[in-house]
C-alpha cells in the first residue's frame, strides 16, 4: 500500500511540474494567436484589440493560475481558433491515434513475441543467425521509409497491389468500420514492424536469461521438454521485463506514430499538435501536451503496478526494506 501511495504522490508532483514546464516552454515561441487570427491584412491596432479580447496581454503568472485553476476543475479550456473545447478536439483526434497505436502494438507483439521466443527455442545455428539479422534489420528500418515502401507496394492508385488507401482517414470516422480500419493498416504495419523488432530483441534477451535460470532447469528435470519449459516457465519468469518493455513501446508510439500519421495524412494527435502550434493556439497546445504527458505518466504508473503484481518478489523485497527501516 505504501508503495502505491508513494507512487501516487510522485505522480501528482510530476503533473504540477509538468504543467509549469509546458506553460513556460510554449511562451518562448515567437508570434501569437492574435497575429495569426488577424492575418496579413491586419493593422497593429487590430492585433492589439484581439490580444486584449483573448486575455493574452495579462501577466504570465495570472494566465498560468487561470489555466491551472481550469485544470483542477477538469476544464482544459477552449481553443482560441476553432472555438471547440480541447477535450472534444483531443477526443476526435485520439479516435484515430489510439486505434493506430493499439493496432501497431498488436502487430509488434504478433511479430516480436513469437520470433523472439523462436530465436531462443531453436537450436539450429542458421535459424538463430537469421533471427538475429531480422531483429537488427527490422529495428533499423525507419517507420517513414517502411511506410513509403508499403505505399509503393499496397496502396490504392499508386501501389503494385491496390489493397489499402494510402492517404487520409474516412471522413465519417468510425461509422464505416471497414474503411476506417483499412486506412490504418499500412500506417500500423509501418510502425509495428520497427517496434516488433525491438520487442523481439527484448523477448530474446529476457527469455535467454530465463533459459539459464534454475527454474527452467528444474522444470526440465521434472520432465518438461526444453520448449515446454521455456514457454511455460521461462516466459512467465520474463513477463515482468516484457510488460515494462511493452509499456515503454506504447509510450514511445504516442510520439512515434506522429511521423507516420503525417506520411499517411491521418488526422491524428500529431497533426493536431502541429496545426495548433503553427497557429500559436497556446491554450489548446498546453492542454493537449498536458493531457499527453499525463497519459505518459499514468502509463508509467500502470506499468509499475503491473510489475509489482507480476513479480511478488518485488513486494516482499520492499516490505523487508521497510521493516528494517
Site for another protein in 118-177 (CB under 8 A): 120, 123, 128, 132, 156-158, 162-169, 171, 176
Half-sphere exposure of 309 (CA within 13 A, CB side): 9
Of residues 184-223, those binding another protein (CB under 8 A):
185, 205, 207-209, 211-212, 216-217, 220, 222-223
Q: Which CB sits closer to another protein, 31 or 55?
A: 31
What is the CA 214 to chain-centroid distance, rounded? 36
DSSP 207-246: HHHHHHSHHHHHHHHTT--HHHIIIIIIHHHHHHHHHHHH
Q: Is 226 in the site for another protein (CB under 8 A)?
A: yes
Which class for 128: exposed (0-12), middle (13-18), buried (19 or more C-beta within 10 A)? middle
Contacts with another protein, 7-46, as mask; x by CB under 8 A? ----------------------xxxx--xxxxxxxxxxxx
Q: How far apart (Å, rounded) are the C-alpha atoms in residues 67 and 69?
A: 5
Distance in angstroms (rounded) separating the CA atoms of residues 309 and 4? 12
Q: Give the angle subtended at the CA of 35 by the CAs of 30 and 36, to the nearest 5°.
A: 95
For residue 22, the 8-state DSSP code is H
Contact with another protein (CB under 8 A): which of 93, 117, 254, 288? 93
Burial class (CB in 10 A: 0-12, 13-18, 19+), 49: middle
**Closest separation in Å from C-beta 315 to another protein:** 25
**Closest CB to another protein among residues 173, 299:** 173
Among positions 68, 70, 84, 87, the unique one binding another protein when judged by CB under 8 A: 84
How far apart are CB 168 and another protein at their closest, in Å? 6
**Quick one: which segment of 17-25, 269-277, 301-309, 312-320 binds another protein (CB under 8 A)?**
269-277
Closest distance to another protein from the beta carbon of 125 (Å): 9
The residue (of 212 and 322) whose beta carbon lies closer to another protein is: 212
User: To which residue does cell 499517411 refer?
Assistant: 264
- For another protein, the closer of residues 182 and 297 by Cβ is 182
Pick the closer one to another protein by CB: 228 or 255: 228
Q: Which is nearer to another protein, 266 or 300 (CB)?
A: 266
Q: Which residues of 136-150 are buried (b: 16+ CB within 10 A; e: fewer)?
A: eebbeeebeebbeeb
Q: How far is the CB of 225 from another protein (least distance, A)?
A: 4
State how far the Cα of 151 lies from the Cα of 264, in Å rounded to an integer: 9
**In the bound complex, what is the minimum distance in angstroms from residue 236's beta carbon to another protein?**
14
Identify which of residues 226 and 307 has a Cβ nearer to another protein in the complex: 226
Amino acid at each position: 500500500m505504501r508503495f502505491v501511495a508513494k507512487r501516487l504522490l510522485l505522480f501528482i508532483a510530476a503533473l504540477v511540474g509538468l504543467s509549469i514546464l509546458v506553460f513556460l516552454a510554449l511562451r518562448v515561441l515567437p508570434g501569437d494567436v492574435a497575429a495569426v487570427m488577424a492575418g496579413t491584412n491586419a493593422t497593429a491596432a487590430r492585433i492589439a484589440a484581439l490580444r486584449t479580447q483573448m486575455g493574452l496581454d495579462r501577466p504570465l503568472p495570472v494566465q498560468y493560475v487561470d489555466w491551472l485553476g481550469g485544470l483542477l476543475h477538469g476544464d482544459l479550456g477552449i481553443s482560441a481558433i476553432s472555438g471547440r473545447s480541447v477535450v472534444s478536439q483531443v477526443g476526435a483526434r485520439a479516435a484515430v491515434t489510439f486505434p493506430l497505436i493499439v493496432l501497431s502494438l498488436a502487430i509488434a507483439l504478433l511479430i516480436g513475441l513469437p520470433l523472439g521466443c523462436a530465436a531462443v527455442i531453436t537450436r539450429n545455428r542458421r535459424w538463430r543467425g537469421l533471427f538475429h539479422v531480422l531483429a537488427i534489420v527490422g529495428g533499423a528500418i525507419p517507420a517513414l521509409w517502411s511506410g513509403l515502401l508499403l505505399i509503393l507496394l499496397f496502396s490504392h492508385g499508386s501501389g503494385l497491389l491496390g489493397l489499402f488507401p494510402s492517404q487520409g482517414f474516412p471522413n465519417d470516422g468510425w461509422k464505416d468500420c471497414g474503411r476506417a480500419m483499412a486506412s490504418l493498416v499500412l500506417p500500423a504495419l509501418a510502425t509495428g514492424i520497427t517496434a516488433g523488432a525491438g520487442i523481439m530483441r527484448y523477448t530474446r534477451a529476457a527469455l535467454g536469461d530465463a533459459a539459464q535460470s534454475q527454474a527452467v532447469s528444474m522444470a526440465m528435470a521434472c520432465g518438461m521438454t526444453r520448449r515446454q519449459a521455456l514457454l511455460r516457465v521461462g516466459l512467465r519468469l520474463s513477463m515482468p521485463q516484457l510488460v515494462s518493455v511493452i509499456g515503454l513501446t506504447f509510450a514511445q508510439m504516442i510520439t512515434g506514430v506522429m511521423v507516420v500519421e503525417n506520411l499517411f495524412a491521418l488526422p491524428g494527435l500529431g497533426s493536431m499538435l502541429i496545426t495548433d502550434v503553427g497557429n500559436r493556439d497556446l491554450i489548446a497546445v498546453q492542454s493537449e501536451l498536458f493531457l499527453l504527458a499525463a497519459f505518459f505518466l499514468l502509463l508509467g504508473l500502470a506499468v509499475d503496478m503491473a510489475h509489482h503484481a507480476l513479480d511478488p518478489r518485488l513486494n516482499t523485497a520492499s516490505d523487508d526494506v521497510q521493516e528494517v527501516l
